[in-house]
Amino acid sequence: MSKGRFTLPGEKGLEKEMALLIEKWGADAVRDCDGTELSGEAASLGANVYSTLCLIRADNEWAKRHPECRQQFYLMSEPMTARSDILEIDIMKGYFAQQFLPNDNCNLSRYWQVYDRTEGVPVPVTRWSYRDGVVTVMEASHYHVYTVSFLAYQIWEPVSMRNHITNGWAEEHKLPVDIRYPEAQDHLLNVLDEWLAAHPSTDVVRFTTFFYNFDLVYNESGKEKRVDWFGYLSCVSPLALTQFEQKYGVTLAPEDFVDAGQYNTLFKNPSDKYLLWIEFNAEFVSAFAKKCVELVHHHGKKALMFFGDHWAGAEPYGRYFKEIGLDAVVGAARDGVTTRMIADVPVAETEVRLHPYFFPDVFYEGGDPVFESERTWLKCRRALLRSPVQRMGYGGYLSLALRFPDFVEHVAGITEQFRQIHEMRRGAEPWCAPFKVGILNSWGGLRSWQTHQVAHSTWNQRCYSYLGILEALAGLPFEVVFLSFDDVEMHGVPDDVGVLINAGDAGTSWSGGDRWRNPRLVARLRKWVDMGGGFIGVGEPTASYYQGAFFQLWDVLGVQKELGFTAGFRRPALKTEGSHFITEDVSTEIDYGEGSSMIYASRQDTLALDVASNSLSLACGAFGNGRSVYLAGLPYSLQNSRLLHRTLFWCAGMEQDFFVWNTSNPMTECSLYPDASVLCVTNNSGFQQKTTVFSDDGGNFELVLEPYGWEWIRTDV
Amino acid sequence: MSKGRFTLPGEKGLEKEMALLIEKWGADAVRDCDGTELSGEAASLGANVYSTLCLIRADNEWAKRHPECRQQFYLMSEPMTARSDILEIDIMKGYFAQQFLPNDNCNLSRYWQVYDRTEGVPVPVTRWSYRDGVVTVMEASHYHVYTVSFLAYQIWEPVSMRNHITNGWAEEHKLPVDIRYPEAQDHLLNVLDEWLAAHPSTDVVRFTTFFYNFDLVYNESGKEKRVDWFGYLSCVSPLALTQFEQKYGVTLAPEDFVDAGQYNTLFKNPSDKYLLWIEFNAEFVSAFAKKCVELVHHHGKKALMFFGDHWAGAEPYGRYFKEIGLDAVVGAARDGVTTRMIADVPVAETEVRLHPYFFPDVFYEGGDPVFESERTWLKCRRALLRSPVQRMGYGGYLSLALRFPDFVEHVAGITEQFRQIHEMRRGAEPWCAPFKVGILNSWGGLRSWQTHQVAHSTWNQRCYSYLGILEALAGLPFEVVFLSFDDVEMHGVPDDVGVLINAGDAGTSWSGGDRWRNPRLVARLRKWVDMGGGFIGVGEPTASYYQGAFFQLWDVLGVQKELGFTAGFRRPALKTEGSHFITEDVSTEIDYGEGSSMIYASRQDTLALDVASNSLSLACGAFGNGRSVYLAGLPYSLQNSRLLHRTLFWCAGMEQDFFVWNTSNPMTECSLYPDASVLCVTNNSGFQQKTTVFSDDGGNFELVLEPYGWEWIRTDV
């Protein structure tokens, strides 16, 4: 039995069981969790000790003495309709009074804003006043809708708030300290220094994470109201706004943050101001994080960042990340996408904390944690075979997991597989198709493996039909690059990219919205496809209603969407007869998820490979020397992953090479590591599968794989 | 057996059968059809003779001698992507060469336009030229999309073209003459005069219709490419544009007509220029039509207009219509909506030509014309009980109908019912609910009973989910008014309107698009509901993405639609427990047609009456003293009609009066004619129904109705 690469979550009082599991699962490290601290005994178990530290809530006494250093937030009141000259708005209505406290101690005329949403203009400061939680609008326009944008102190650090509420903790509410204030920085460095000195047995300091949490807002009942795992609202304060203005000469208004109540979510095309705000905070956060990491190193320990809570500003795919000097990054993985999101971070060591967490939602009497785990592991394994992660672990309560002996056995098998990947590939890179796949959206590289995410890995109705593309790609033999429209407009499509994918709902940052009205962008892309590129559009690609067209690249895509303006135009949606390379492995009805509707052929030579409700759901065609495919949606499934695999090869005009280091059976996949002369063939299904494996010289062989099983085969014998 | 109110379509050689049918169906008039002319014998059958006349194609020899008087049309070439400096565009590609001939004999720089659709600007005339059907764009921007807007002569009058092609006629192609030219007017008046003199036995001249056909464009294969029953493109010519400019001081560019290839369909918010263009032509058409009608009267005959082909400019709900001085209007009716569209025309006599036409698509060996007819008649009967039409008839080939004796019997029954309505109601108006229903859209009264129509009565996927509202209203006891946003913005909602309905796809003229950004409009409507009005939104009502909101009246409606920008906001869509007045008669799953998606409650007090796929499909709530209901769609069915009936009463806050002159069984309806002291109770289903009828004094009685049957009951005994 192998050992290593595994971090065991510790639980106080379970030292004996921990020792057994260290053996059973081959753990070489133990760690504490939020809300637990390991006993001294844990340190003597012979494994490295990972200790959690969240600096901004580490010294609540100091935070209480320095209320001016609490983090702030921008909130917009619930919109209200004026029914008379006077409108009174209870600004905290709908918000959790234990989470936020309006900051009325600042210059309200500068940092607060009252908006007439019906006119779309701010209300002059002379026409409103604030007192005791209520903004009073004077001379209101009757039946106009008004909102108040206001600064609020965060009086309960949101991650501890969530855990506190979820687990019924009784501890004092923690205040989040804002490192924007020099005195806060000085104090936190001292806290860290003392903490490091006080934890001699800690080998690795696990920052969870740094200084500003993503946007997590609770409603008046203390339940989640909204979450944006990519939000930067916690970074806001009058001081930050002043420094921003000094640095860039740009003034940010409250509206730049509340964004008419949409708060610049990841799904919106980011404004130039908002991108600058991210940049501003990323630079600042990285600089102070670097100081903290240096201090950790000074104490002879390693520094690890949890890619989760409080990661705003510590953008792993941003330009300042490497300067922090971290030794490792760990993050939660529930699927292939999140595994790749962690695996591809430019850092020496990465670690995944696999789902399911040992929490009562899965580990209940009669529950089936093995089933949950199997589903997750199959997705993660695909990703791990493409991009290595150095370590793995779990989260939650060991005591819960121990009640399920079959799960304990099952995890032993996963840890074996995890280590075997490393042992077999020996650092070698997997073979990839001879062209890269580019994901094209408004964010580009900054959001590598982070498209269509609300709270990462959480299922969302507006996301799953698109997220399946990345989930498939996480385990397919392609190098994936994330490109922004700016990248393409300025530099063109990189030479090694063979196929571009633009996928998303109309208007969102993923589809691109009004970016598609840019003549330079559309002309560059048309030319690129015309010269031989491949273009895949999913859902509502290249969509912006302009000059009579909705999908701006209708000529490339070969399809268009009827918005209801030209319903009298005759455009029958008829399935093209005959078989096609793309759909050759389709055995059951294709699942397009939420799908699309009213899609018709915009060119005569478009092939309609699938049609439902008079709408093309899968279509393809040629544009000059290039090719394009339209898909109504692509949730992840084995069939859809195979469909995408074929689609990519077809779009690249390389369908003759599809069966190079590939398998015949869509339930199976293979990964070749040429430099290690080893091949891994996996069965991604819960049934025994027979498959033929094709090499690159026309040779092939047959294999029978057990359910969820794999085979490693040497290619040099 | 009663007699009268029935026009029999004649067929040459069937004079004996016609005499029998005149008796059987109680006909008091015979008419000829397009492509047939009645023999002299027909005139001696003892019935009035209706004769068809289409003036603009009546003298083809003259039209051939005056090619400059042919009607023209604006077309946009298929969009083409430039791949080099030179782009050649075959402007007739995709069009039917037998229908259109480019007019290159005009000032091309004024009347043609080449557009760079990627930049959204016209190409300077110095950068393109035309020769032999091809426009050559010089110095084209690579990979930009270009279109050519060009004038074309109509070289085949489209209605005769359609009939010619459908029926395989061999006759010469007819040219449509444009009455914009004084010499054409003079000639056509002469033609009419001579025709009238030559047809002494004709009692009624049936104009089919006047001078300009709706937009009907065929593709290169001679099949329908697009149809817009409301189009005004046939009215275009350099002379018309010049006169327009002289009259209004406004220049119309080709782009004002081709509209980026959307051609100002009925589904688009009409621009001010386009409304002026309709006005300009309506005034002109009505003036010349008046001359024709006066000539008919001069010959002692009556003038009837077919509300169908060539009706552009003869807007029955327009401001110039009455001046024409018509005696009657006839139109095809396939359902309640089209029946009401004809019934409500402000003219002395109206007539419906009922479906099915005696054509082979229905009257084939093994076909079931009785079934087809029953479906149509049930819908039309509902409408006829609300608004009288004086006469009825059929179209097509008698010879086909005669092959189905059961159909001949069935029609006899329909004619009996038709006449009985008149005999029983004796001119009395039906009882209506004490409030009117207003249909609110961009068109208002001009498009009374004409919303969501492509080619009238033709099923369309983007229409049926909305058209069901009008279909239900066509037979429900409500007065219906059609209001434009301008009406409401300027004059408010009329006092007698109790409930407004806004129904349509986002952006269309029916929903209203950017009209909803108008603060005056939304404020007036909010106030109106707040003061007690009712508001029903269907599909994507009040939708324009602005200031963070999509449904602008989210506060009134109580619902909002997620566009994908705020997918991380927690808005569970949970059905409200308990029964509700609106849904009390719902017995099977409600059919919302195409429906909507991602609709969530925008107010805490919204009642979610129905939820599917995490989206509210039926919701209601209060707004001040008013009420609102949201429906995802409402195709016509008996259940949906009842649902709308209840919804209207609930929205008006009058649910306690729902059972006044109403029935208990949703398969049945009743119409009271107070001044005639008679009540009609109908069974709209194909099964026997028992129902209780409630009067206005608390009294009620039970009835059993045969399938499709009715009972007339005296209320004064």
Closest-CA distance, B41 to chain A, in angstroms, reads 42
What pLDDT does A1 receive?
65
Closest-CA distance, B534 to chain A, in angstroms, reads 16
Separation of alpha carbons B539 and B596, rounded Å: 6
Separation of alpha carbons A444 and A114, rounded Å: 34
Question: What token pair was written down for A454?
Answer: 């609300």
Query: Which burial class, exposed, middle or buried, applies to A272 when counting CB atoms under 10 A from its CB (0-12, 13-18, 19+)?
Result: exposed
Q: Which of B700, B714, B635, B708 is nearest to B667 (CA)?
A: B708
Q: How many H-runs (helices) and E-runs (strands) does chain A carry?
A: 18, 36
The answer for residues whose C-beta is within 8 angstroms of residue B607's C-beta and 6 or more apart is B576, B580, B619, B620, B621
Tens digit of pLDDT for each residue in A327-371?
Answer: 999 999 999 999 999 999 999 999 999 999 999 889 999 999 999
Question: Tokens 């069901």 appear where?
Answer: B468
What pLDDT does B129 receive?
98
Q: Under a CB-based contact definition with an 8 Å cutoff, are residues A601 and B604 in contact?
A: no
**Strand, coil or helix: B305:** strand
Half-sphere exposure at residue B639, Cβ-oriented, CA atoms within 13 angstroms = 10
pLDDT (average), residues B232-258: 98
Inter-chain residue contact A523 with B547, CB threshold 8 Å:
no
- What residues of B are in contact with residue A522 (Cβ under 8 Å)? 118, 143
Q: Rounded to the nearest 5 degrees, what angle is found at the Cα of A455, between the Cα atoms of A454 and A461?
A: 45
- Chains A & B: contacts with CB separation below 8 Å: 178
Q: Rounded to the nearest 5 degrees, what angle is found at the Cα of A640, between the Cα atoms of A636 and A643?
A: 145
pLDDT (average), residues A550-574: 95
Query: Which burial class, exposed, middle or buried, applies to B113 when counting CB atoms under 10 A from its CB (0-12, 13-18, 19+)?
Result: buried
- Residue B211, pLDDT > 70, answer yes
Q: Which of B93, B117, B149, B547 to substitute to test the interface with A, most A CBs within 10 Å?
A: B547
Inter-chain residue contact B260 with A547, CB threshold 8 Å:
yes
Q: Which of B585, B593, B628, B629 is nearest to B612 (CA)?
A: B593
Inter-chain residue contact B225 with A570, CB threshold 8 Å:
yes
Phi-psi group of A366: left, alpha or beta (phi > 0 → left; psi -120 to 50 → alpha; rest → beta): left
Q: Which of B438, B425, B356 is nearest to B397 (CA)?
A: B356
Tens digit of pLDDT for each residue in A270-321?
Answer: 999 999 999 999 999 999 999 999 999 999 999 999 999 999 999 999 999 9
DSSP for A395-414 reads -B-HHHHHT-HHHHHHHHHH
Tens digit of pLDDT for each residue in B324-355?
Answer: 999 999 999 999 999 999 999 999 999 999 99
The answer for residues whose C-beta is within 8 angstroms of residue A648's C-beta and 6 or more apart is A433, A437, A476, A478, A498, A499, A534, A536
Q: How many residues are listed for chain A in this entry?
A: 717
Reported confidence tier of residue A32, pLDDT bands at 50, 70, 90: confident
- What residues of B are in contact with residue A504 (Cβ under 8 Å)? 564
Inter-chain residue contact B461 with A614, CB threshold 8 Å:
yes
| Minimal Cβ distance to B568: which of A119, A228, A613 | A228
- Residue A656, pLDDT > 90, answer yes
- What residues of B are in contact with residue A261 (Cβ under 8 Å)? 548, 566
Q: Chain A residue closest to B83 (CA)?
A: A527
- Residue A43, pLDDT > 70, answer no
pLDDT (average), residues A259-269: 97
Q: Which of A78, A238, A82 is nearest to A152 (CA)?
A: A238
pLDDT (average), residues B102-121: 97
**Strand, coil or helix: A180:** coil
What pLDDT does A143 receive?
98
Q: Chain B residue closest to A552 (CA)?
A: B118
Q: How many angstroms separate the first and last alpha carbons of chain B? A: 26
Residue B481, strand partner residues: B438
**Amino acid at residue number A467:** L
Separation of alpha carbons A281 and A240, rounded Å: 9
Share of chain A above pLDDT 70, in %: 98
Reported confidence tier of residue B498, pLDDT bands at 50, 70, 90: very high
Q: Under a CB-based contact definition with an 8 Å cutoff, are residues A46 and A20 in contact?
A: no
What pLDDT does A454 receive?
87
Peptide bond into A176 cis (omega under 30): no
Q: What is the three-state SS of A211-265?
A: CECCEEEECCCCCEEEEECCCCHHHCCHHHHHHHHHHHCCCCCHHHHHHHHCCCC
Inter-chain residue contact A259 with B548, CB threshold 8 Å:
yes
pLDDT (average), residues A462-484: 97
Min mean pLDDT across A39-48, A527-536, B257-266, B316-325 is at A39-48
Reported confidence tier of residue B43, pLDDT bands at 50, 70, 90: low
Separation of alpha carbons B629 and B607, rounded Å: 9
Reported confidence tier of residue B33, pLDDT bands at 50, 70, 90: low
What pLDDT does B37 receive?
66
pLDDT (average), residues A65-89: 97
Tens digit of pLDDT for each residue in B360-394?
Answer: 889 999 999 999 999 999 999 999 999 999 999 99
Q: Centre a 10 Å sphere on the Cβ of residue B677 and count the other Cβ atoms it contains.
A: 14
Q: Which residues of B are catalytic?
A: 309
Q: Under a CB-based contact definition with an 8 Å cutoff, are residues B671 and B706 in contact?
A: no
| Minimal Cβ distance to A267: which of B546, B555, B565 | B565
Q: How many angstroms separate the first and last alpha carbons of chain A? A: 26
Question: What token pair was written down for A228?
Answer: 């944006």
The answer for residues whose C-beta is within 8 angstroms of residue A571's C-beta and 6 or more apart is A562, A600, A601
Inter-chain residue contact B83 with A530, CB threshold 8 Å:
yes
**Amino acid at residue number A708:** Y
pLDDT (average), residues A567-581: 92
Q: Under a CB-based contact definition with an 8 Å cutoff, are residues A702 and A692 in contact?
A: yes
DSSP 8-state symbol, A446: G
Q: Under a CB-based contact definition with an 8 Å cutoff, are residues B557 and B541 in contact?
A: yes
pLDDT (average), residues A511-538: 98
pLDDT (average), residues B421-439: 97
Q: Centre a 10 Å sphere on the Cβ of residue B86 and count the other Cβ atoms it contains.
A: 11
- Residue A35, pLDDT > 60, answer no
| Minimal Cβ distance to B224: which of A504, A570, A597 | A570
Over chain A, what is the mean pLDDT? 95
Inter-chain residue contact A455 with B260, CB threshold 8 Å:
no
Q: Rounded to the nearest 5 degrees, what angle is found at the Cα of B344, between the Cα atoms of B709 and B445?
A: 130
Tens digit of pLDDT for each residue in B398-419?
Answer: 999 999 999 999 999 999 999 9
What pLDDT does B616 receive?
98
Question: What token pair was written down for A534?
Answer: 């491949």
Share of chain A above pLDDT 90, in %: 92
Separation of alpha carbons A688 and A671, rounded Å: 19
Question: What token pair was written down for B427?
Answer: 């001119």
Question: What token pair was written down for B220?
Answer: 């290169």
Q: Chain A residue closest to B623 (CA)?
A: A81
Residue tagged active-site, from A32, A178, A203, A309: A309
Q: Centre a 10 Å sphere on the Cβ of residue B546 and count the other Cβ atoms it contains.
A: 15
Q: Which of A560, A538, A539 is nearest to A550 (CA)?
A: A560
Reported ipTM: the value is 0.95
Inter-chain residue contact B624 with A83, CB threshold 8 Å:
yes
Inter-chain residue contact A598 with B462, CB threshold 8 Å:
yes
What pLDDT does B13 receive?
85
- Residue A34, pLDDT > 60, answer no
Strand-strand pairing, A328-333 and A302-306? parallel
Question: What token pair was written down for A400?
Answer: 């819960």
Q: Chain B residue closest to A117 (CA)?
A: B547
- What residues of A are in contact with residue B598 (Cβ under 8 Å)? 461-462
Half-sphere exposure at residue B97, Cβ-oriented, CA atoms within 13 angstroms = 5
- What residues of B are in contact with residue A567 (Cβ under 8 Å)? 265, 267, 454, 460-463
Separation of alpha carbons B378 and B370, rounded Å: 12
pLDDT (average), residues B143-166: 96
Q: For A294-336, where are the E strands, in sequence order?
A: 302-306, 328-333
Separation of alpha carbons B154 and A549, rounded Å: 27
Q: Which of B646, B488, B644 is nearest to B580 (CA)?
A: B646
Separation of alpha carbons B29 and B35, rounded Å: 19
Q: Chain A residue closest to B562 (CA)?
A: A462
Q: How many residues are listed for chain B in this entry?
A: 717
Over chain B, what is the mean pLDDT? 95
Separation of alpha carbons A653 and A433, rounded Å: 12
DSSP for B596-634 reads --SEEESSTT-EEEEEETTEEEEEEEEETTEEEEEES--
pLDDT (average), residues B143-163: 96
Tens digit of pLDDT for each residue in B179-209?
Answer: 999 999 999 999 999 999 999 999 999 998 8
| Minimal Cβ distance to B570: which of A224, A265, A565 | A224
Q: Chain A residue closest to B552 (CA)?
A: A118
- Residue B636, pLDDT > 90, answer yes
Separation of alpha carbons A26 and A70, rounded Å: 43
The answer for residues whose C-beta is within 8 angstroms of residue B498's C-beta and 6 or more apart is B433, B434, B435, B436, B437, B533, B534, B648, B651, B652, B654
- What residues of A are in contact with residue B505 (Cβ under 8 Å)? 563-564
Q: Is the dihedral of CA A429, A433, A439, A445 positive or negative?
A: positive
Share of chain B above pLDDT 70, in %: 98
What pLDDT does B38 receive?
67
pLDDT (average), residues A517-526: 98
Q: State how far Cα B650 lies from the chain centre.
A: 28
Question: Tokens 């079934």 appear where?
Answer: B371
What pLDDT does A379 receive?
97
Share of chain B above pLDDT 90, in %: 91
What pLDDT does B391 receive?
97
Q: Centre a 10 Å sphere on the Cβ of residue B346 and count the other Cβ atoms it contains.
A: 10
Q: What are phi and psi of A323, to 5 degrees?
A: -65, -20
Q: Rounded to the nearest 5 degrees, what angle is found at the Cα of A121, between the Cα atoms of A116 and A123?
A: 60
Separation of alpha carbons B595 and A345, rounded Å: 43
Reported confidence tier of residue A616, pLDDT bands at 50, 70, 90: very high
Helix H or strand E encompassing B49: strand B48-53
Question: What token pair was written down for A674?
Answer: 């040429």
- Residue A685, pLDDT > 80, answer yes
Residue B689, strand partner residues: B705
pLDDT (average), residues B671-690: 97
Helix H or strand E encompassing B163: helix B158-167
Question: What token pair was written down for B7?
Answer: 């026009």
